[in-house]
Amino acid sequence: MARRFRGEGLHKVDSKGRVSIPALFRRVIEACDPNWTDGLAPELVIVYGDNRKKFLECYTIEAIEEVDRKIDALPRGSMGRKTLERLFHGQSFPTSVDETGRLVLPQKLREKIGVDKEAYFIAAGDTFQIWNPETYEDDQAKTDAWLDEQPDDFDPLVYLDGVEEL
């Protein structure tokens, strides 16, 4: 089973904040939850604390545990550790996917990103993001504009040159 999210999708949000997760995303969440077995609700963590971000970042259990291990390795009392603990421990929301493939976005999280009737899901490797659809379009327009400024023969894969595989 792939452990990377791929794809995107626009989904309706009901009045209680319930929203369906793209089916392919659900399979990754299940595969990356070491406690999940058939019949149980797979778990994930929504990180919302970074006020500079206009989206919610959703981590599988494996992905958030990797972040936790790295935070734990930082010196206690350091500003870096304090900041990361607040963002990833305090300003996060552990949740699960229900039997119909939905999760509940609490009002506080919906208000943070301005989600009302629809939410836009976009894969980001070992995480996925939930956006207000219009905000995502604006953000994507910035990426498109940057790409348009590059030479005609520019290939974004050049950023992978020299990167060592783990």
Average pLDDT, the chain: 94
pLDDT at 1: 44
CA distances to 30, 92, 93 from 24, in Å: 10, 23, 22
- At residue 143 the predicted structure's pLDDT band, cuts being 50, 70 and 90, is very high
| Better-scored residue on pLDDT, 3 or 41 | 41
Q: Domain residue spans in the chain? A: 8-133
Could you tell me how far CA 9 lies from the centroid of its own chain?
A: 13
Fold of the domain built from segment(s) 8-133: Chemotaxis protein chec (3.40.1550)
% of the chain surpassing 90 pLDDT? 87
Say which residue the tokens 């421990």 belong to.
Answer: 89
Distance in angstroms (rounded) separating the CA atoms of residues 116 and 3: 30
pLDDT at 2: 54
Closest CA to 47 of 95, 98, 101, 117: 95
pLDDT at 20 over 50: yes
- Range of lowest pLDDT (8-17, 32-41, 63-72): 32-41
pLDDT at 163: 73
CB atoms within 10 A of CB 48: 21
